[in-house]
Amino acid sequence: MTAEKYDAQIKKIRRELSVYKSGSVLQHVIDHLHWSQTLERPASGMPWICLFLLKLAMQECNGGNRNMVKAEFSKLANRLFRMQHLACPIGLGDIHLMMRPMVLQQTWYQGQIFPDIKAMTRQMIWYSDEATPFAEKFLELHGLSLKEFYLISLYLDVCVADGAKGIIGINLYELIFNLSPTISLKSIIRYFLLVAIRSQDLPEFFQDHKVNGGLHQQSEYFQTTPLRKKPVLLDGDNLFIYNSKLFSRAVGTLVPDLFKKVKGWGYKDYFGPAMEHYLGSLLRASTLTYHTEEQLNQCCRDNSVVRGKMADFLASGDVNIIFESKAIEPGDIVSSVFDPEVLKRSLADSFIKGIEQCQESVYRLRMTKEYAAAKFACIVVTHEDFWFASAEDIIRAIDPGLEAKVFEKYAHIPVPFDNILFVTVDAVENILQAVSSGDVRLDSFVMDCAQMLKTPEGKRFTMDHIVQDKLAGKISGVPILNQKADEWLEFFQTELDANKAVWQGLSAELIRKRMFVMEMLHRQFNR
């Protein structure tokens, strides 16, 4: 019933929006985003609601001829906000599933940009080396190198967006002055062709992001704005960042999203091994005794154990910790729906498969003399956070039949589901660094987290929150990341000064170069 009521209300708002000029709605959204980001609590300005309203307006305003006034904008935005109970009928399902899309959506607009800078630094390790297939493919598709993409993004994050209040204007004179000629004008143009959208192109852009269905889908209310794919606005001769956190998160997730869209290339076939190799490098840098998948399989062969799936790594201890790497991120559907059947279908071949692989790995190892009496816990390492903390969450809310399926296959449960934890690669870095520093023991830390999740006061949406709480004051830099960060920091310290020296006395030329960049951007967008 709430789905029908939601559909009726959305249709009504869409009809009312259709009378307005799209540009006038955009102006009110920009004004509101600018004002709300100057508040002590910027999230109280509900940026996700305003950008959803913008999406609806751009899809409906093609024939509108009225200018929207501020009171009309406020009324419509508040009505949209007050529909939250229809989009997310909390009383009709598992509270975790119902709240998860709402909370996950808001993380795009809250918090610091530091995690996003870490994410890009990590991706530079994975992707940007010229010898990798990622670097070659990105250059082929987009006309600039991955290294240049990350350097320009980091410049905008660190030197422009960090700490800024309100809508942020990108000073193109300053960007060219600081980054060019080390980064060519061609690459700067290519960068903004990739991350920017013109204000006049927004209606067409949002038309491509309509959600199909007989009714307007409740999940659309919680989907991250499509502008995460275009986090910079080109308005006339000006470039703007709508929201600093949205921008930093967007550029930190854009490259994997672009790679996943390349048909027939097999991105997953490249990224899976790359992330597994990275996890191995983290374990090598730790003080842990660990075994690889091949070593574990050899142990099984030596004990005449039947062939089967095996996890990527095992760290030895009083409780042996299995690591299963999953190079996956939650897409729009997984992030925004609360229907358990939809989630089950969407997660079966990747996320839930990680649980099954952990169970099979423990089952096979227990058949060896080395591990017959051993204790186990498991970490499924994901690229990004799915906002499920343990396999017990999956059993309870999404796939209750999984427990019976595992029991039927093995005649017992090899490892308790609440001892299988989902942890992002970011949190794994912090855990292993704390282990290396002697602040925690891996096995006791993992088991403490698992026990904490069983208690009402310890329950969290995500393991990352528990890791942050338990390692508060103990999180230090990860050497592998620090080394890569030092490289791009050195670039800014040396090349920026060198570029500035080149432009001394050439102010007229700098003006011409800026005009050239703008002319080329509009020319390319007009195609």
- Spatial strand order of the sheet with 319-326 comes to 290-292, 313-315, 319-326, 375-382, 420-424
Beta carbons within 10 angstroms of residue 100's beta carbon: 26
Domain spans, the chain: 2-107, 111-265+509-526, 267-477
- Please, what sign has the CA dihedral across residues 367, 373, 374, 375? positive
Check whether 272 has a pLDDT greater than 80: yes
Range in 62-66, 81-85, 427-431, 481-485 the model is least confident about: 62-66
Q: What percent of the chain has pLDDT over 90?
A: 77
Token output for 29: 């959204």
* Distance from C-alpha of 421 to C-alpha of 462, rounded to nearest angstrom: 9
Decide if 160 contacts 152 (C-beta within 8 A).
no
Average pLDDT of 498-507? 93
User: E strands of 203-279, at which residues?
Assistant: 232-235, 238-241
Decide if 2 contacts 89 (C-beta within 8 A).
yes
Burial of 57 (0-12, 13-18, 19+ CB in 10 A): buried
Check whether 160 has a pLDDT greater than 80: no
**The length of the chain, given as a count of residues:** 527
Q: How far is CA 149 from the centre of its chain?
A: 17
CATH code matching the domain that covers 267-477, chosen among 3.30.1600, 3.40.91, 3.40.50, 2.60.120 = 3.40.91
Binned at pLDDT 50, 70 and 90, residue 214 comes out as low
pLDDT reported for residue 249: 94
pLDDT reported for residue 164: 74
Alpha helices of 261-327 — where are they, by DSSP H?
267-285, 293-302
Alpha helices of 437-478 — where are they, by DSSP H?
442-453, 463-470
pLDDT reported for residue 422: 97
Check whether 94 has a pLDDT greater than 90: no
DSSP string, 371-421: TTT-EEEEEEEESS--S--BHHHHHHHT-THHHHHHHHHHSS-SS-GGGEE
Token output for 462: 């995500």
Q: Which of 313, 305, 470, 427 is nearest to 378 (CA)?
A: 313
Write the DSSP symbol of residue 103.
H
Check whether 251 has a pLDDT greater than 80: yes
What are the pLDDT digits (tens) for 359-407?
999 999 999 999 999 999 999 999 999 999 999 999 999 999 999 999 9
Decide if 244 contacts 358 (C-beta within 8 A).
no
pLDDT reported for residue 212: 78
Binned at pLDDT 50, 70 and 90, residue 3 comes out as confident
Decide if 136 contacts 146 (C-beta within 8 A).
no
Q: Which of 361, 449, 381, 376 is nearest to 415 (CA)?
A: 376
Q: Is 307 helix (H, G, I), strand (E, B) or coil?
A: coil
Check whether 184 has a pLDDT greater than 90: yes
Tokens 């607009």 -> residue:
109
Token output for 309: 């799936």
CB under 8 Å to 30, separation ≥6 — which residues?
A: 167, 233, 240, 242
* Distance from C-alpha of 233 to C-alpha of 228, rounded to nearest angstrom: 11
What is the average pLDDT value for the chain, to the nearest integer?
Answer: 92
pLDDT reported for residue 1: 65
Largest Cα–Cα distance of the chain, in whole Å?
A: 79
